[in-house]
Amino acid sequence: MKLLSLRKNNEADVKMVGAVVGILVTLIIAVLVFYNIAGSIDTTTIDADLTGTPSANATDATLDQAATFFSVAPIIAIVIVAVVILGYVSRIGG
């Protein structure tokens, strides 16, 4: 009986849409903040006091990892949207 009350609950649909929108907005803000901060780091003055270029190497590695994550993150959003659509289709069909 409890499952039927959850199945007919339209508040859950609104919360799911809100969660998806929240995730997408958070992702967009994270990309903007990260690349603004990473672009403003001056590694040449840090490396002037050190042997070699460790801070430039660390910055490059961090940027490479961030680029990988930010290229995969939209796929996560697409999967979430697909799950919501499949949920609606299964509810309509059954």
In a domain, residue 60? The reply is: yes
In a domain, residue 55? The reply is: yes
> What does the pLDDT read at residue 38?
81
> What does the pLDDT read at residue 82?
86
> What does the pLDDT read at residue 2?
60
Q: Give the structural domain span for 86.
A: 14-93
In a domain, residue 8? The reply is: no
In a domain, residue 82? The reply is: yes
- Written as one letter, the residue type at 48 is A
Q: pTM for the complete prediction?
A: 0.59
In a domain, residue 9? The reply is: no
Comparing C-alpha atoms, which of 6, 27, 33, 30 is closest to residue 80?
27
pLDDT at 69 over 70: yes
In a domain, residue 3? The reply is: no
| 22 or 88: which leads in pLDDT | 22
